[in-house]
Amino acid sequence: MVNPGMAQPRQEIWYHTGYPGGVVGPGSGVSALTGPTKMPAVFEAIWRNRLIDPEKIHTDSPALKKKSPPAAPPIDLESLREVHTDRYLKALFTGEPRCLATSQGLPTWNENIARGWLLNVGGLYAASKAALYKKTITGNLGHGYHHATVNRGMGFCTINGLVVVAQKIIREAKAKRVMILDLDHHEGNGTAESIIGESSIWNVSIYGSYMGGPPSAGNNHVFQIRHDAFEQGTKRDAHYLAVISEILPSLIRLQNPDLVLYQAGMDPFDGAGISNEALAIRDAYVFSLCRSMGKPVTWVLAGGYADMETLVELHLGTVRKANEVLMKVKAGDRIKHRERKPYSWFPQNGAICFPDWKSLIKETLHWNEPPSMSNSQIQEFVALRDQLHREEQLPKDEIASAYRRLFSIKP
């Protein structure tokens, strides 16, 4: 709840009505259509519940009747080419070959869907810049698309917006180091494949379900939680939160990122039986930890396949916790773990008190950390990725005209 006696939250979010690309689909279940369908639902729920002032919602939506700042433009071609191959991008822009344009799993391709991907990443870039400049928390009501890899889509993910934006921000010298923090139930394999060897970007993926990505490397930190070690309920929740709070602070201290891009996945709910209370306090913890360490955060919607009403409420938990943390936590606050109730947190004398989840479960933590790649393996990996870019390179005019044509076609 927003306390009217306190300063209003300063969270800004981005949402363009073109993000879903006109795709509508089932309101629940693991489907390529669930993701696009939930974006407008979450946007409307934020607006309907007045969780964020219209002046802080960057959108083209007529629902806000010109009270809002404009949505962001689509991401530029050069930033896309830094991460994805030309052959793949041309397929996304033109729909041909169709099997490549739909390699993420969507049943169809059209120009609206293609424009939606680019608008989505454009919004993430704008939100990230705002977080950096204002040293705050911002959100993009699009997806991170962490399974998308260098030359094809996967798992409903088309363009790896997290990596495109992290690289662009580094290239433009807006930040020296960016952390991609991925707490989706599924491993961020596409992110890992795209960033290994690029020391300024770290991928931290704490997941339940392995998706075939590479092992840990200097800048890739992957951890698989063994949810099945505990029965569903408070103990499994506490274990999940204990693992995150055990791993995350030291990695943030070690990398010292200027910006955290947070893939706030909600599918531990339906994928691992983690409760909505646990996911809400997870986000309160992530935002509090980053804010107390002076790290700006931009969050994105990520996986979640419960029924739409439940799903929207889960994502609203992220919005609410970002608001609360902006009001309650400031840089320099200490994070303490001493509260006994598993889902309770509060500020107290310059500290933010969270539960001591580890002592609540009274057992060792269950997670697998795969072996790290050696330096020569990393070099080989990077060389193969560079080779892929060269092999799939197209004349600049050819890819540029495909990009331009996409935006000259009226929806």
Residue nearest to Zn ion (CB): 303
From candidates 12, 267, 324, 333, binder to Zn ion by CB under 5 A: 267
Shortest distance, CB of residue 26 to Zn ion, whole angstroms? 16
Shortest distance, CB of residue 272 to Zn ion, whole angstroms? 10
From candidates 182, 184, 198, 324, binder to Zn ion by CB under 5 A: 184
CB 137 within 8 A of CB 326: yes
Asked whether position 86 contacts Zn ion by CB under 5 A, the answer is no
32 vs 399, beta carbon nearer Zn ion: 32
268 vs 342, beta carbon nearer Zn ion: 268
CB 181 within 8 A of CB 221: no
In whole angstroms, what is the distance from residue 390 CA to residue 87 CA?
10
Radius of gyration of the chain (CA): 20
Asked whether position 186 contacts Zn ion by CB under 5 A, the answer is yes
Distances (CA, A) of 320 to 57, 206, 274, 401: 15, 22, 19, 42
Distances (CA, A) of 61 to 15, 54, 66, 71, 74: 8, 11, 8, 9, 16
Per-residue binder mask for Zn ion (CB under 5 A), 129-168, x = binder: ----------------------------------------
184 vs 198, beta carbon nearer Zn ion: 184
84 vs 186, beta carbon nearer Zn ion: 186
In whole angstroms, what is the distance from residue 47 CA to residue 62 CA?
12
Q: Which stretch binds Zn ion (CB under 5 A): 49-57, 176-184, 345-353, 397-405?
A: 176-184
Residues in 336-395 that interact with Zn ion by CB under 5 A: none
In whole angstroms, what is the distance from residue 44 CA to residue 60 CA?
13
Distances (CA, A) of 154 to 159, 180, 325, 351: 10, 19, 34, 42
Q: Which stretch binds Zn ion (CB under 5 A): 94-102, 179-187, 238-246, 370-378?
A: 179-187
Shortest distance, CB of residue 367 to Zn ion, whole angstroms? 18
Residues in 285-314 that interact with Zn ion by CB under 5 A: 303
Going by C-alpha positions, the residue among 192, 179, 188, 197 that lies closest to residue 374 is 197
Shortest distance, CB of residue 185 to Zn ion, whole angstroms? 5
Shortest distance, CB of residue 380 to Zn ion, whole angstroms? 29
* Residues in binding contact with Zn ion, number by CB under 5 A: 5
Asked whether position 27 contacts Zn ion by CB under 5 A, the answer is no
CB 71 within 8 A of CB 56: no
Shortest distance, CB of residue 303 to Zn ion, whole angstroms? 3
User: Hey, how many other C-beta atoms are within 10 angstroms of the C-beta on 404?
Assistant: 11
Interaction site with Zn ion (CB under 5 A):
184-186, 267, 303
